[in-house]
Amino acid sequence: MNELLFHIFPNERFIDLGLYQFGLEHCAPAHSYGPATRNHYLLHYVLSGTGTLYADNSKGHTETYHVKSGQGFIIFPGQITTYIADEKLPWEYTWIEFDGLRTKEVLDICGFSLDNPIYKPKHKDSAQLMSEELIYLATHSNESPFHLIGHLYLAMDYFIRSTSSATPVGGSKLQDFYIKEAITFIERNFQNDISIVDIANVCGINRSYFGKIFKKNIGQTPQEFLMNYRMIKATELLRLTDLSISDISKAVGYDNPLHFSRAFKNVYNLSPRNWKNQYAVKPASE
């Protein structure tokens, strides 16, 4: 039987590095997840036991990786993966789903890619500190968003330190400006009928160039980022309010509730109604 801690992070507009969900799981023998794709990056760190990851590489071919205690793996947005706990020594792992302006830079520094998704730390002390931060997140979900984001940053720092002596790569301050302008515009207008051309126009650059630098720096297309941002806002409303699905659909920029429900299920593998039934905050009197 699985032992699971699972938490949804309340989005607070953290741009450089943001947290979506996190948790800790002691898997049952042969427990599997997938095949599935994700909309953000995931880091799994194996605390004990072993298991197998099946993940598509950059050419779309499925690779097999055996991952054991003290190692981990990265899942990339849009990548098809399946992972299975060992039948005799099932793994226990902690994980975070994250994204943001600096995510791709962090993974580039550490040398991770679709062709190199396995975390094998070179510095055990930093890896241990990283695992402690990930466990802290999983076991302190009631702390404030800023408190949790602080520990996420610490985990990422130890993550970088544990991989190698790599140094941060340089970035374009102008590109950072464009992207922050775009994200700010999305945050303020996600509930409206906005297009990628609208966002590019706010930045004062053409759509093609905007799409290229956004994908390069964020790891998602502008369309993917906008949809995912809307879905995060939808989970906040589902979790904290009694608004109808139709009202929530309109509140996050979907005039058609059916289109909203389909998009939501593509992201969370649950309908909005079923998600609400599982994760909504219950009144204190209950």
What is the predicted pLDDT for the residue at 274?
A: 92
Q: What is the pTM of this model?
A: 0.68
pLDDT in tens, the chain (286 residues): 556 666 766 665 677 788 888 999 999 999 999 888 887 899 999 999 999 999 999 998 999 999 999 999 999 988 999 999 999 999 999 999 998 877 888 888 888 999 999 999 999 999 999 999 999 999 998 898 899 999 999 999 999 999 875 555 445 677 888 888 898 899 899 999 999 999 999 888 999 999 999 988 888 899 998 998 898 889 888 888 899 999 999 999 999 999 999 999 988 888 999 988 887 766 544 4
What is the predicted pLDDT for the residue at 284?
A: 47
Please tell me the class of the 3-163 domain: mainly beta
Answer yes or no: same fold for 3-163 and 173-279. no
50-56 β-sheet, strand order = 32-36, 81-85, 50-56, 62-68
What is the predicted pLDDT for the residue at 11?
A: 60
Instruction: Tell me if 80 sits within 8 A of 27, measured CB to CB.
Output: no
Structure confidence by residue, pLDDT tens digits, 86-123: 999 999 999 999 988 778 888 888 889 999 999 999 99
The closest alpha carbon to 98, from 113, 76, 73, belongs to 76
Residue length of the chain? 286
What is the predicted pLDDT for the residue at 259?
A: 95
What is the predicted pLDDT for the residue at 75?
A: 96
What is the predicted pLDDT for the residue at 2?
A: 56
Structure confidence by residue, pLDDT tens digits, 175-217: 888 888 898 899 899 999 999 999 999 888 999 999 999 988 8
What is the predicted pLDDT for the residue at 285?
A: 45
What is the predicted pLDDT for the residue at 226?
A: 92
Domain ranges of the chain: 3-163, 173-279
Please tell me the class of the 173-279 domain: mainly alpha
**For strand 62-68 and strand 50-56, is the pairing parallel, antiparallel, or unpaired?**
antiparallel
